[in-house]
Structure 1
Amino acid sequence: MVARVVPVAPFDLVVFGATGDLARRKLLPALYHRLHDGQMPIEARVIGAARAQMDAEGFRRLAAEALDEFVAPADLDPDSRRRFLATLDYVPLDVTKDDDWQALADTLGAPDPERPRAFYLSVAPRFFGVIAERIAAAGLAGAHGRIVVEKPFGHDLPSARALNQSLARHFDEGRIYRIDHYLGKETVQNLMALRFANALFEPLWNAHHVDHVQITVAETVGVGGRGPYYDGVGAMRDMVQNHLLQLLCLTAMEPPARLRPDDVRDEKLKVLRALAPVDAARDVVRGQYGAGPGVASYADDVGDADTRTESFVALRAHVENWRWSGVPFYLRTGKRLRARMSEIAVAFKDPPHSIFAGAGGRAGANVLAIRLQPDEGITLSMTVKDPGPGGMRLTPAELDMTFAEQLGGGGLRMPDAYERLVMDVIRGDQTLFMRGDEVEAAWRWVDPIIAAWEERGERPALYDPGSSGPEDALMLMHRDGRRWREISA
């Protein structure tokens, strides 16, 4: 199968924080792949901006090293590498210095309404407002310039509102792109295609047929070098408020009238507003990984023996509308777990009557599993007859569509999420980006949970590294007569 590539117009992209980890690991390799595949034109300009004192040639050397490290050797074509590096430029920039901004303005030139221009803020959130103000004051964006911001989108509802207001003073909402890389994953987009481009599942996608939904984002790594940052955030703010709630929204939302950015985001917002408040003591479990053989505890990783920050969260949520009334959504995320896995699993109800009461073997529930990582794909668990002449014996089986196998024959590479998202910014397509009111609605639901934790002052339950999380998380499901799906690679 050959992927269809739709080229974009020549553009200017300014990457603030261009010497940082995100730019090296994700943004520069993503742009290289888009040029290599013929989507990014060689007339495009990618201008790095950071405090590091270097010239354009020095930035190209840094970018070359990033490509060598983070692009698979089979995908690193010498001619494409050379052409990509030729699109790069660099301006040393301290956001507080007027002369540095003038140098950036001189490099960019006047905005061209026919040439998309975007500003990617790969910097700490405290700089978002001042950079947006400086871009506007210097006239760099013009009437059509776009600004891209990475999470975290605030620390709570008041800070999210303040951030939105700060950006809105200089950019219309239609030009603000809040990026959540989970929404750029092929499987997440295929969730919408699966539901709305096929007649098979949507009639069953409701409380009459769905027993429950599980959303899991599991990591094997600890906090690592992010310890000081992470200890002030925790799993609820770092993962649940954005990634997991966005996956819940895409799973639970109503069909939009059209595949237009605001139509999709309107439906996601309705889901967030329909989330019932949760009892933090009954419906939520917090965990923190302890020490194991050759593995430091979370407290050791962050250097605080008394830390009360969670590295694991499991919770039960309900969407209070007609489609999902009574259907629990179980969300789970954590570090130092058994395997790296991200998955949405829709578990359907058992048949209303079984004619196989005397049959041997065992029947399994029908589960549609949408796997985001490590191997993107979709599986559907079915019950079938066990082959052979031994009578009617039932056995579970899976219909498997692993994208790398089904769609990747002939050497098709599955694009990284950032490749799609950056190109969507250039095209002006906000479908896969969070709107300001979405961000605030998510914080409005999450904040009372965090406030209840802080009021109780309890430490998170310890769990062993390499496990599935604390025992209390298992009990959260067991009380409902259900079980978590196994965390497996």
Structure 2
Amino acid sequence: MQEKKVLITIFGGTGDLAQRKLYPSLFRLYQKGHLKDQFAVIGTARRPWSNEKYREVILASIANLASSEEQAVTFASHFYYQSHDVNDTNHYATLKNLADELDREYELDGNRLFYLAMSPTFFGTIVNHLKSQGMLTSEGYHRVIIEKPFGTDFATAEALNKEITNVFDESEIYRIDHYLGKEMIQSISAVRFANMLFEAMWNNRYIDNVQINLAENLGVEERGGYYDQSGALKDMVQNHILQVLALLAMDPPAAFNEAEIRSEKIKALRAIRLYDEEEVAKNFVRGQYVEGKIAGRKYQGYKEEENVNPDSRTETFVAGRFYIDNFRWSGVPFYVRTGKRMTEKGTRINIVFKSVPINLFSHSFDEEKQNLQKPEPNVLTIYIQPTEGFSLSLNGKEVGNNFNLLPVKLDYRNSAEIIANTPEAYEKLILDSLNGDGTNFTHWQEVAQSWKIVDQIRKAWDNDTTSEIPTYAAGTMGPDEAFHLIAEDGFEWVWQPDNWYRERGEL
């Protein structure tokens, strides 16, 4: 394992993301030897902290990870703090001096990684100052990691991209979507391309529909102000869901490398049908959670949440039907469903295969076979979180003298030990950026096409100012309209955890 020589500068170094995700991820890379002696981190923010104060924060963020106090302290000694106003040119001169000094002290060969863990409104300002103040002139590589949201629609995303690509080459830009760092998201390709059983049937001849679920049981919490300006469509569909859809729908790449995988993902996204306003109304449902009760606990509605406009029309739920207009997927609906304050937290994918073309069991040969039922469709389920693994439902025979069919499930789940030792998404993605591997990051063309798809839906909803937005009680799996949407095609949602609570009178 080769140690990574690098100076990492984190804009937004005092923020929640840095403390909850970035510092623990860097520490895990340190424990595994990817970062060792020749690395340094500069944290920048407006707060007037000292190096000592900053290192105390670092130690607190890794307190439950360190095997010894000495290990933690040694790691934290690589961190330096610079109070910084991103709009002040003079502050970048100070930052450059510190960067050059640390580059010499730790012999970093001029390798620099900039992490923009701030509001996207500052991205253009930061990268332009990095260039104008000479922070990109060292001999090593220069890379920038950018958090979502990348724009608020295609127009703003395009303008932001122009600002950033005036400074950094596309190959140096790492647009992070933490879902792409999750172990089971990366395993989608293994399931597809390493198993002839599935790859041979991964098309419209054998698959009836695909269901992508990203459910959250939490409400908007303290993010009410932000969420009310965003909504579920932009917060989840534009990035996470469309990225997962692209991985499921793309054709096999010519080689399993960054360029080929990216090329196929872009082709898949460009094949997604763009809807007009009438088609949006037919194929997409939005919803807003209202007061509800589950398992003895009562929850308030979205409009009663802190910092939410009491007249808000912002959606907390989206369900929809995408079609991919290419040879492989023509006619197969891809159903998506995501929302806040649903029954359970979970991310899972259901691949529903077509039923056998001839039901051999529909004809009775004697009186004992009168009650034979139609075979259930085979379903491949990929569990992303909180559990990780796969299951495949099959039809078997019930034990006994009759010939009743019995659904059975082949099931594999990663153990708690494996999950506990699985690299966290940010850890994997930061390491990818240090290795110069952009496979699990989003390319501009992916971002652009995703916004074009979502903008059509957003435009239709924004133009509809009179229709009442469907509601769903907190703790349920969405409004009735979401169930009607899929029932129109003769299907149903495979994942319905709310039924368990209803059967026990807890919902």
Common fold, TM-score beyond 0.5? yes
Matches within 5 A, 1:218-233: 218-233=215-230
Say if 1:462 and 1:468 are closer, same or farther in 2 by CA, change over 3 A. same
Matches within 5 A, 1:181-196: 181-196=178-193
**CA contact 1:292–1:464 (8 Å) conserved in 2:** yes
Moved more, 107-116 or 218-227: 107-116
In structure 2, the residue matched to 1:469 is: 478
Amino acid at match of 1:396: P
In structure 2, the residue matched to 1:3 is: none
In structure 1, the residue matched to 2:51 is: 56
- What is the distance in 1 between the residues matched to 2:195 and 2:3? 29
- Could you give the per-residue CA deviations for residues 24-57 of structure 1, whole angstroms, max 9, x where no partner exists? 1111111111212233223221221111111111
In structure 2, the residue matched to 1:34 is: 29
2:90 to 60, 74, 99: 99
In structure 1, the residue matched to 2:251 is: 254
| Residue 281 of structure 2 is aligned to residue 281 of structure 1 | yes
Moved more, 81-90 or 238-247: 81-90
Amino acid at match of 1:377: G
Query: CA offset at residue 459 of structure 1?
Result: 4.0
In structure 1, the residue matched to 2:386 is: 374
**CA contact 2:389–2:413 (8 Å) conserved in 1:** yes
Partner of 1:251: helix, strand, or coil? helix
Partner of 2:254: helix, strand, or coil? coil
Moved more, 82-91 or 14-23: 82-91
Partner of 1:350: helix, strand, or coil? coil
1:299 to 293, 303, 311: 303
Q: Which structure 1 segments of 5+ residues have no match?
A: 1-5
- What is the distance in 2 between the residues matched to 1:230 and 1:238? 8
Amino acid at match of 1:298: Y
Partner of 2:299: helix, strand, or coil? coil
**CA contact 1:217–1:341 (8 Å) conserved in 2:** yes
**CA contact 1:369–1:380 (8 Å) conserved in 2:** yes
Partner of 1:151: helix, strand, or coil? coil
Query: CA offset at residue 7 of structure 1?
Result: 4.4
**CA contact 2:254–2:260 (8 Å) conserved in 1:** yes
In structure 2, the residue matched to 1:394 is: 405
- What is the distance in 2 between the residues matched to 1:343 and 1:249? 15
| Residue 464 of structure 2 is aligned to residue 452 of structure 1 | no
In structure 2, the residue matched to 1:86 is: 77
Length-normalised TM-score, structure 1: 0.93
Amino acid at match of 1:328: P
Count how many residue pairs are aligned between Structure 1 and Structure 2.
Answer: 476
Q: Which structure 2 segments of 5+ residues have no match?
A: 499-507
1:335 to 319, 331, 340: 340
- What is the distance in 1 between the residues matched to 2:203 and 2:121? 42
| Residue 17 of structure 2 is aligned to residue 22 of structure 1 | yes
In structure 2, the residue matched to 1:442 is: 450
Query: CA offset at residue 218 of structure 1?
Result: 0.3
- What is the distance in 1 between the residues matched to 2:71 and 2:188? 33
**CA contact 1:361–1:395 (8 Å) conserved in 2:** no
Query: CA offset at residue 389 of structure 1?
Result: 4.0
In structure 2, the residue matched to 1:423 is: 431
- Could you give the per-residue CA deviations for residues 71-129 of structure 1, whole angstroms, max 9, x where no partner exists? 46xx6554432332122221111112233212211221177884532100000000000
In structure 2, the residue matched to 1:162 is: 159
- Could you give the per-residue CA deviations for residues 135-154 of structure 1, whole angstroms, max 9, x where no partner exists? 11122233620011111111
Identity %, equivalent residues: 39
**CA contact 2:361–2:374 (8 Å) conserved in 1:** no
- What is the distance in 2 between the residues matched to 1:412 and 1:156? 37
In structure 1, the residue matched to 2:396 is: 384
- Could you give the per-residue CA deviations for residues 249-275 of structure 1, whole angstroms, max 9, x where no partner exists? 000001111222222111111111111
Q: How big is the alpha-carbon RMSD for the aligned residues of Structure 1 and Structure 2?
A: 2.0
Moved more, 39-48 or 372-381: 39-48
Partner of 2:412: helix, strand, or coil? strand
- What is the distance in 2 between the residues matched to 1:346 and 1:77? 46
- What is the distance in 2 between the residues matched to 1:412 and 1:448? 40
- What is the distance in 2 between the residues matched to 1:316 and 1:28? 39
Query: CA offset at residue 298 of structure 1?
Result: 0.9
Length-normalised TM-score, structure 2: 0.90
| Residue 100 of structure 2 is aligned to residue 109 of structure 1 | yes
| Residue 481 of structure 2 is aligned to residue 481 of structure 1 | no
In structure 2, the residue matched to 1:241 is: 238
Partner of 1:204: helix, strand, or coil? coil
